[in-house]
Amino acid sequence: MSATRPGARWFTAAADDELTIFERSREGRRAFVAPELDVPRRPLDELLPGELRRAESPRLPEVSEPEINRHYNRLSKRNFDLDTGFYPLGSCTMKHNPKLHERVAALPGHAKLHPLQDPARAQGALELMWQLQQALAEIAGLPHVSLQPSAGSHGELAGVLLTRAYHEDRGEHRTKVLTPDTAHGTNPATVTMAGYEVVKVGTDERGNVDLDDLRAKADDDVACLMLTNPSTLGLFETGIDEVARIVHGIGATLYYDGANLNAIMGICRPGDMGFDIVHFNLHKSFTQPHGGGGPGAGPIAVSDRIEPFLPRPQVVRREASGNGAGEAYYDLDHERPKSIGRLRGFQGNYGVFVRSYAYIRSLGAAGLKEVSEVAVLNANYLLARLRAEGVLDQLPVAYDRLCMHEFVLSGSPMKRDLKIKTLDLAKRLLDHGVHPPTVYFPLIVDEALLVEPTETETKETLDGFAEVVAEILREAREDPEIARGAPYTTPVRRLDEAAAARNPVLRQP
């Protein structure tokens, strides 16, 4: 096989890069030096009886600091990352992570603050959270915000539990939640985890929620409809007013999955569309670095009628009495009789709030609107470039409409004519030093490729990507085997996922 790929190599490949930290371990090596014992030593048995102790210490590695340092540095170079290259992963909003954020998050007043510190001595933190709540409320168009949920799916869970509490408070017992067939997998998983039954609603040929199907399924046993707008197809739900009318007509709540907020900030607001509950992914639109798979945060904003049920504690602002005229005091409010309770310990992922707050303060009203305008501009431009390169002949856009911040292509014609699948295209992109778009999602598009460039990419980068895709298709026309065997130049080649699932090896023996 002769396939190579153009461009610079971005990883190092040395033979011992494959060793795990455990395999580098040598008895006696250490990095940690314990402080001297400065209290009288008591016999171990006195402090901790033998029957409570383990016989053998846990087999952690024995390595020196230089070795740990080199090991993880070299490991890092086996990762592709956003700081290094284009990452148009649809639905994930891989936008630039501003470096200021790490600096402010590391300030000891933020980073070394214990969660149970007296609120009177954590006013900076509580004010930051309160201000962030206000900003998110304004962006969503819904007045009441809880920062507690730890991730988008956690926010979704909160939303469905809030819905349940709302109905129970009215003496109603409903059993179903509607989700579109284009929904992200977390939606139906959340519904089941909250104790409801999932009912799927279809999508019409324009890529919108099928209103007839919705009307047929919207009965008074339905507690909620979960929706994303723009949808996971990257399309604005033009019938949203009618959707809201139908859902509210049966007394159900309308839930907004905020994964696609990047398209509409300052343009329109979910609260104005009629949504009762909105979740934000701070690791998407608000630049919390993805960290290779977390941490993130999934705050929620809700309408007046849902507010009483918000998780406890809530960050509130009180006008301090007797403290001097009108001095505000920020506090954690635990007195919430109708609250659904806690969803996690303490008050949420504060480190993420610091970064998101810094972002909102940096951009301001005009900046956030610009984010969405350029996100939508970049996506439409990339689509136009792909069309100009002839790519859409083999990978047509799934719905022939203006897209918003992302678009879905279907690799069906490519599979039929060029004999390579979306998966093969993705793997061949790896050889070009680009992270592939999201593949095989949404489920309703065959051989789906979901592309989201985000607003932080230059026009040149988008041009380059369109050219690379066109080149891969040209290559496949000559010899489809190349893409089918890709990647060739990455630290490892295609991995046997079936073997990993059949005979799982989940730790060092």
Partner 1 sequence: MAEPSYPGELLYHSEHDWARVDGDEAAFGITWYAQDALGEVVFFESPKVGSSVTKDEPYAEIESVKAVSDVFAPLSGEIVAVNDRLSDSPETVNEDPYGDGWLVRVKLSDPSETEQLMDAATYEASL
Partner 2 sequence: MTQYTSATDADRAQMLDAIGVESIEDLFAEIPERLRLRRPLALDQGLAEQEVYEELRELAARNVSTEDEISFLGAGMYDHYIPALVDSIILRSEFLTPYTPYQPEISQGGLQAMFEYQTAISELTGLPVSNASVYEGPSAVAAAGYVAKLANGRTRFIASRGVHPHSRETLRTLAHGWGMAVDEAPLSDGATELPEIGEDVSAVIVQQPNFLGAVERLEPIVEAAHRTGALVICACDPLPLALLKSPGECGVDIAVGEGQTLGNRLDFGGPSFGLFAVTDALMRRIPGRIAGETRDADGRRGFVLTLQTREQHIRRERATSNICTAQALNALAGIVYLSWLGRRGIVELVELMLQRTGYARDRLQAIDGVVPLHGQPVVREFAVALEAPVEAVIRRCREQGINPGYPLGRDYPEFENGLLVALTERRTRDQIDRLAEVLASAIASERSELAGART
Q: By C-beta, is 170 or 477 nearer to partner 2?
A: 170
The count of C-alpha atoms lying within 13 angstroms of the C-alpha of 109, restricted to the half-sphere facing its C-beta, is: 10
What per-residue string of b and e applies to 281-298 under the rule 16 or more CB within 10 Å gives b?
bbbbbbbbbbeeeeebbb
295 interface partner picked from partner 1, partner 2, none, CB below 5 to 8 A per type: partner 2
Does residue 502 belong to the site contacting partner 1 (CB under 8 A)?
yes
Interface map 156-195 toward partner 2 (x if CB under 8 A): xx--xx--x-------------------xxx-xxxxxxxx
146 interface partner picked from partner 1, partner 2, none, CB below 5 to 8 A per type: none
Does residue 316 contact residue 333 with C-beta atoms inside 8 Å? yes
The CA distances from residue 205 to 200, 202, 214, 380, in Å, are 16, 10, 15, 20
Distance in Å, CB of 499 to partner 1, minimum? 8
Q: By C-beta, is 464 or 491 nearer to partner 2?
A: 491
Does residue 188 contact residue 289 with C-beta atoms inside 8 Å? no
Distance in Å, CB of 502 to partner 1, minimum? 4
Does residue 501 belong to the site contacting partner 1 (CB under 8 A)?
yes
From 497, 505, 506, 507, residue interacting with partner 1 (rule: CB under 8 A): 497
Does residue 498 belong to the site contacting partner 1 (CB under 8 A)?
yes
Does residue 377 belong to the site contacting partner 2 (CB under 8 A)?
yes
Residue 89: DSSP 8-state = B
464 interface partner picked from partner 2, partner 1, none, CB below 5 to 8 A per type: none
Pairing of strands 448-451, 438-439: antiparallel
Does residue 347 belong to the site contacting partner 2 (CB under 8 A)?
yes
Does residue 487 contact residue 431 with C-beta atoms inside 8 Å? yes
Q: By C-beta, is 149 or 437 nearer to partner 1?
A: 437
Contacts of partner 1 in 423-462 (CB under 8 A): 440
Tokens 């979901």 locate to 450
Does residue 41 belong to the site contacting partner 2 (CB under 8 A)?
yes
Chain Cα centroid distance, residue 89: 11
CA–CA distance, 465 with 496 (Å, rounded to integer):
28
Does residue 114 belong to the site contacting partner 1 (CB under 8 A)?
no
Contacts of partner 2 in 228-267 (CB under 8 A): 236, 238, 240-241, 264-267
Between CA 245 and CA 252, with CA 247 as vertex, the angle to 5 degrees is 135
Does residue 293 belong to the site contacting partner 2 (CB under 8 A)?
yes
CA–CA distance, 168 with 323 (Å, rounded to integer):
41
Does residue 297 contact residue 348 with C-beta atoms inside 8 Å? yes
SS3 22: coil
Residues lying near partner 1 in the complex (CB under 8 A): 440, 497-498, 501-502
